[in-house]
Amino acid sequence: MKKYNTTILLALALLMGSCADLDLYPLDTGSSDSWYKTEEQIKASISGLYRVDFLPIDDERWSDNHQARTNLNDYTGATLNGESWHVINRWKNAYKAIARCNVLLDKLANPSETGITEEKAELYRAQVLFVRATQYGILTSCYGDVVYVDKELSIEESFKIGRTDREEIMEHVYADYDRAAASLPLTYGSSQELATKAAALGLKARYALYNEDYEIAAKAAKECIELGSHQLYPDFSKLFLATTHHASEVLLSSPHSLELGIYSDSPGNIQGYSPRNRGGYASEYPSWELLASFLCTDGLPIDESPLFDPHDPFRNRDPRCAATIVEFGTEHCGVIYDPNPLTTEVYSETHGKNITNLDCKSGSQYASYNGLLRKKGVDESWINGGSFQVAYDRIFIRLAEVYLTYAEAMIESGNIDDSVLDAINIVRARAYKVDYKGSGYPKVTTKDRDRLRSIVRVERRMELAYEGHRRMDIIRWKIADQVLNTPDYGLLDKDALISKVIDKKQWFWPETPEIDGNGTADFSSMYSKGLCKLIARRQFDASKNYLWPIPSQEVITNPYLGQNDNY
């Protein structure tokens, strides 16, 4: 059989049939001639559609929320091209899933042939339509106009197919989500590994928001919330731990298991986020911009609040600040975390004694370059006896996102009422562990559209950091060319840090950075005074980087595809 390089063609060809033996295919993707014969095979194929490969989550390293020493990547270095791994892989996996969805839908058109009742068949169709809609939501948000395929194609047809306008594709996406939501259950019990009614409505709202279909987004988000099938988890800081499974807030997640050797991330990546005092690298960590974005407990940004002290940057901050970034002087993974180079020893609960502080510049030149470490989701389970093998729930969508989607969609469509304030306040109050109708947190009360736009953007950053949302937020808000064309800043080298900052009683930040309406900090004043170090220069090319390129091999193989501008 002749081989084709084009991903779409390969996926379609494999699923249209093969002379190969069935055992050459994974159990969820057998040849259509010898597979899809029983209900169990149909169910196995559907389960295969919910693999993590088909539900990608953006890397926080692609945004201004994160630093990785002096390293940049294709997204923060403006080197994205048609050969970039993620560009190729996301396209390939999406069309692989779409091809499987289309074959399954064809097989489920006559369910009696496999002994499936019509009621069961409609549930299976809904689960498949959900996945197909999600793939197109992902594709359009990355590439813009893409190839739309809703049936099996011949090889000849595949060579001649071009891209469909994004707006037209989204009409199909919304229709698929609607049909899926009509037949999907509210719950499967304690599992969130298959689509539910809430997941379909929640993701419809997400991708409608991404496409600026604000009324559709608001309606879907409201319907999702009003189902009442999911509730916010009471403790934000514990929601993301490996010990918290199947939280009521989660609409869709992917399972992992230490016993089965299915880890949430590679041990190397886990080690990168872990403290050096516990054998980690501390090479991946939050940016100063992220730390600066968290509001103070009076609801004001740090450059407006009288409560903020740059020398004690975690005090009087939104609780999600210390739940996302390790607070200085607190226990983290069994050891007190303190990046101050004068703190040469720290207490280790793990060892029961003081140990050399490797998480400061006196202890290691490779300690976090900006003094910060990630806290969100990270605990002793990440160390796991030095194996750095962890199995936490990989959350694809949760209810708090849906609340904020509703609020933003209503704000952008100009329909501002009390329900918008409630949606933001419900999410914010949970962080403070209080009821949103009461006191004890900085309640949002304004109905000014510009002010609310700023509030919801900052709220998303505080709430959703390290969950893969920031890249698309700065893309769709058209601020990526601002926030990714600024330097990564960090701490001075040890001797200069001690003489210029610490000895002058200016630790941690010598001054408070200015914050703009999107919650983004400006450290250029501090840098111009020689009080911090430029670590790396991020770049973003606004002429092209707001969309990804179509993979080069796809364009070469199929000239009808064309390429996105300036790639």
pLDDT band at 17 (very low <50, low <70, confident <90, very high): very low
Residue 314 within any structural domain of the chain: no
Give me the phi and psi of 70, to 5 degrees please: -95, 5
pLDDT band at 46 (very low <50, low <70, confident <90, very high): very high
- Count how many domains the chain has: 2
Q: Do residue 160 and residue 104 come from a single domain?
A: yes
Residue-level pLDDT at 174: 99
Q: Do residue 552 and residue 487 come from a single domain?
A: no
Neighbouring residues of 414: CB distance < 8 A, sequence distance ≥ 6: 449
Q: Tokens for 166?
A: 């994004």
Tell me the CATH number at 69: 1.25.40.390
Identify whether the C-beta of residue 521 lies closer than 8 Å to the C-beta of residue 293. Answer: yes
Q: Do residue 533 and residue 552 come from a single domain?
A: no
Residue 269 within any structural domain of the chain: no
Q: Is pLDDT above 80 for 29?
A: no
Residue-level pLDDT at 157: 80
pLDDT band at 534 (very low <50, low <70, confident <90, very high): very high
Residue 63 within any structural domain of the chain: yes
Residue-level pLDDT at 283: 98
Q: Please compute the mean of the pLDDT values over residues 461-489 and round it to a whole number.
A: 98
Domain of residue 489, residue span: 481-537
Distances 138 to 170, 219, 405, 547 between C-alpha atoms, Å: 11, 20, 17, 12
Does the global pTM surpass 0.85?
A: yes
Sign of the Cα pseudo-torsion (340, 341, 344, 348, in order): positive
The whole-angstrom separation of Cα 567 and Cα 564 is 6
Q: Do residue 490 and residue 553 come from a single domain?
A: no
Neighbouring residues of 528: CB distance < 8 A, sequence distance ≥ 6: none
Q: Average pLDDT of the chain?
A: 93
Q: Please compute the mean of the pLDDT values over residues 193-214 and round it to a whole number.
A: 97
Residue 128 within any structural domain of the chain: yes
- For 93-138, the pLDDT digits (tens) are 999 999 999 999 999 999 988 899 999 999 999 999 999 999 999 9
Residue-level pLDDT at 499: 98
Q: Please compute the mean of the pLDDT values over residues 298-305 and round it to a whole number.
A: 98
Q: How many CB atoms lie within 10 A of CB 280?
A: 23
Residue 377 within any structural domain of the chain: no
Residue 224 within any structural domain of the chain: yes
pLDDT band at 3 (very low <50, low <70, confident <90, very high): very low
Residue 178 within any structural domain of the chain: yes
Q: Please compute the mean of the pLDDT values over residues 500-521 and round it to a whole number.
A: 97
Distances 164 to 148, 168, 174, 268, 567 between C-alpha atoms, Å: 6, 7, 16, 40, 19
Q: Do residue 166 and residue 212 come from a single domain?
A: yes
Residue 429 within any structural domain of the chain: no
pLDDT band at 26 (very low <50, low <70, confident <90, very high): very low
The whole-angstrom separation of Cα 402 and Cα 312 is 33
Q: Do residue 495 and residue 552 come from a single domain?
A: no
The whole-angstrom separation of Cα 39 and Cα 119 is 13
Side-chain half-sphere CA neighbours of 466 within 13 A: 25
